[in-house]
Amino acid sequence: DPELHAARFVLAQLFTAMNKLDTAQQFLEAIPHTSVWSQPATFLHINILIEKEALEDARTRLTTELEAWPENRRLYHLLGDLYRRDRLCEDALAAYADAEKRGDRSGALYRSRGVCYAELQEMALAEDNLQRAIDINPNDASALNYLGYLWADEGRNLDRALSYIEDA
């Protein structure tokens, strides 16, 4: 049935979990933009492209989706993550700012920004963003670990750094 978009999405998730990414993509491509499953399919498709290291294709797809959905904060966040992965932190920070302007106040956003600021050697901003991520989600192992090691490397807040690393 060509109208069973939910079934196609679930099958794509299953094939993704089995690492049969080409098959998953075929199911996702059969979901039209008019479907309520279009955006979840888009996110999964972009993540598959990233998994396949087709980063330019992922960026192109994200750009196309941003033209269609310019207020979607999750797309901007994902674009920032893609830039951060390539160590293009200035571009990532701009995308994260766009995500925040559109309402993203997630711990993941602040963690990602903290990592970028650390890459840029802006340690006060890195620390502020990582701590904000932990305040939002005290179980964020990545933020705990990153901030703990940031402090340990600088020889600051050593008791708290050790506690964060152990918690992570």
Supply the pLDDT for residue 1.
79
The type of residue at 117 is: Y
**Nearest in space to 43 (alpha carbons), one of 75, 71, 13:** 75
Q: Which residues, 6+ apart, have CB-to-CB distance to 71 below 8 Å?
A: 102
Supply the pLDDT for residue 32.
92
Supply the pLDDT for residue 5.
95
Measured CA to CA, the distance from residue 84 to residue 94 in angstroms comes to 11
Radius of gyration of the chain (CA): 18
Exposure class string for 66-92: b at 16+ Cβ within 10 A, else e: beebeebbbbbbbbbbbbbeeebbebb
Measured CA to CA, the distance from residue 116 to residue 95 in angstroms comes to 12
* pLDDT tens digits in sequence order for the chain, 168 residues long: 778 999 999 999 999 999 999 999 999 999 998 899 998 999 999 999 988 989 889 999 999 989 988 999 999 999 999 999 889 999 999 999 999 999 999 999 999 999 999 999 999 999 999 999 999 999 999 999 999 999 999 999 999 999 999 999
Helix (H) / strand (E) element for 88: namely: none
Supply the pLDDT for residue 149.
94
Cα 106 to Cα 44, 71, 161, 167, distances in angstroms: 19, 16, 23, 20
Measured CA to CA, the distance from residue 110 to residue 129 in angstroms comes to 5
Supply the pLDDT for residue 19.
95
